[in-house]
Homo-oligomer: A and B are copies of this chain.
């Protein structure tokens, strides 16, 4: 705001809200006003939920997931197949795969991708801990669910090399036409991959 029109508490709230992804300076003001108007229903409960999350959230020392327990709920869930680990770049990818609810397995969060130019080498990612889990002997398959970007694929190749000494299967996600997608709007690379990996009808 160009001049002070409200107490510093409100301006600080707006400044911090503007740093939340999805909100900018303008929507942060709108959000702050809405929160203030809904003090009992939203502002106070949200403050309490944030404070509780800040207190309790841990990074799982086994897989790198975020949870309020360490090891996390996924690593300690006895109904999940401990023989299969899906390797993802980020916790958001883990959450996306869990929403798909396609496989009842475990995960490993790398925390990024190899990017030498940005100074991100193997030691900056959770790769050592993945090798250790595989060396434990229980793992039968590693599914590399990294993004289909250059960095993601570079990381996938590096991991395949590192895991080549173990008697496990290393797989990756299929490329192809998104469900509901129209061929007309797809790039040539995806279409070529979908043709190569065609399946019996």
Contacts and interface: CB of A to CB of B under 8 A. Distances in A.
Interface of A: 1-10, 12-13, 16-17, 19-23, 27, 29-37, 39, 42-54, 56-57, 65-69, 72-74, 91-92, 94-95, 98-99, 101
Copies of this chain in its oligomeric complex? 2
A45 B33 contact: no
A36 B51 CA distance: 11
Contact of A51 (B47, B65, B91): B47
B42 A19 contact: yes
16 contacts: A1-B98, A2-B101, A5-B73, A7-B67, A7-B73, A10-B66, A13-B49, A13-B50, A13-B53, A17-B46, A20-B46, A21-B30, A22-B30, A23-B23, A30-B92, A43-B54
B5 A98 contact: yes
B27 A69 contact: no
Contacts of A10: 53, 57, 66-68
